[in-house]
Amino acid sequence: MNETHFHSIKDLSTHHLLGAGTAMCAGCGGLEALQVIYDILGEKTVFINAAGCMTLLSVYPYTPFRGSWLYTAMASAPAGAQGVRDALDILLEKQLIGTDEDLQTVVLTGDGSAYGMGLSATSAAIERGLDFLYICYDNEGYGNTGHQSSGATPHGARTATCRTVHGFSGDKKDLFAIWAAHRPAYVATVAGAEPVDLARKVEKACRLKGPRLLIALAPCPTGWGYDPQETVQVGKLAVACGLWPLKEAVQGKIVHTKPPGKRLPVETYLKTQDRFAHLFEPQRDEQTLHEIQERVDIYWREWEE
């Protein structure tokens, strides 16, 4: 897909989500990515939504999607997707619906479910070879309930449940690697701030069968602490600093789709957000800043070698 093609699609159909997006926080990076994804997926879809920020898109009996919507508990979306996919396959087998009436099964969760509560059910669904697309909007915390730490919270960040001097002492889980270890059909990281890369990966995922994952960086003005109008810039900086590698894996083969080239220092990204402000004021936390930069340097050094 070229950039002209992408913009023509987006201009025609973003209103499908924008109208309902008023329930979301201004500048939501998850919604930014979801608009592009849904523009390409279209209405022949069933969204199985785990409890989280995007639940606010649907207020019974309405949703912003022209397709179908099923709400589940936080840990249950992959199990719900299995039931939906099985039901559709039975209807197809019995010729109660035609192939033109088949729907794509799409799981939609935040990182709290994808990295934590729903990981066991997800692993089982991948093991069974479930034909579904899993979309995780990753805002690196439990955003819908006040931004508590999650399995996706990055090292050094402050959250509602981690107010220590150095911020979160742990490390963000590598969900990409966890999925890739299962040898699914497709795994990719994406960002709404990089729409052409995102659109190409959605199209590729749609051409494949089996378990497929898109992990979308979801900058969160409310939880991260920055002006909502800076969402695109924050997303671009995450990529440029090497903190959010844009990559994909097809049957285990990993390719970086947009390497950052000469990477910017991670400070360039961290300084844009209040959740990292304690690393700079009232005095610089050289140790934690070094640890964050070192993690990024090690990652890219390993790949470049």
Which pLDDT tens digit goes with each residue over 203-257? 999 999 999 999 999 999 999 999 999 999 999 999 999 999 999 999 788 999 9
Task: Report the candidate in 217, 210, 144 with the shortest Cα–Cα distance to residue 175.
Answer: 217
Given a cut of 70, is residue 13 above it in pLDDT?
A: no
Which amino acid, one-letter code, is at 10? K
Would you call 246 helix, strand, or coil by DSSP?
A: coil
The 3-state secondary structure of 178-230, one letter per residue: HHHCCCCCEEEEEECCCHHHHHHHHHHHHHCCCEEEEEEECCCHHHHHCCHHH
Question: Is 3.40.30.10 the CATH classification of the domain at 3-304?
Answer: no
Q: What pLDDT was estimated at residue 58? A: 85
Would you call 113 helix, strand, or coil by DSSP?
A: helix
Question: What value does the mean pLDDT take over residues 117-129?
Answer: 96
Q: What pLDDT was estimated at residue 63? A: 84
Q: What pLDDT was estimated at residue 219? A: 97
Given a cut of 80, is residue 8 above it in pLDDT?
A: no
Residues 6+ apart with CB under 8 A from 260: 239, 240, 241, 242, 245, 300
| Peptide linkage before 61 cis (omega within 30 of 0) | yes
In tens, the pLDDT along 19-50 reads 444 468 899 999 999 999 999 999 999 999 99
State the burial class of residue 100 (Cβ atoms within 10 Å of its Cβ: 0-12, 13-18, 19+). Answer: exposed
State the burial class of residue 52 (Cβ atoms within 10 Å of its Cβ: 0-12, 13-18, 19+). Answer: buried
Q: What pLDDT was estimated at residue 205? A: 97
Given a cut of 50, is residue 109 above it in pLDDT?
A: yes
Number of residues written out for the chain:
305
Domain ranges of the chain: 3-304
The alpha carbons of the chain give a radius of gyration, in whole angstroms, of 19
Q: Cα 194 to the chain's mean position, in Å?
A: 13
CA distance 221 to 140: 12
In tens, the pLDDT along 69-101 reads 999 999 999 999 999 999 999 999 999 999 999
Which range has the worst mean pLDDT, 10-19, 141-150, 189-198, 217-226?
10-19
pTM of the predicted model over 0.85: yes
As a whole number, the mean pLDDT across the chain is 91
Task: Report the candidate in 229, 54, 60, 213 with the shortest Cα–Cα distance to residue 143.
Answer: 54
Q: What pLDDT was estimated at residue 242? A: 97
CA distance 117 to 159: 18
281-295 in b/e form (b: 16+ CB < 10 A) is: eeeebeebbeebbeb
For residues 63 and 211, the model is more confident at 211
Reported as half-sphere exposure (CB side, CA atoms, 13 A), residue 117 has a value of: 19
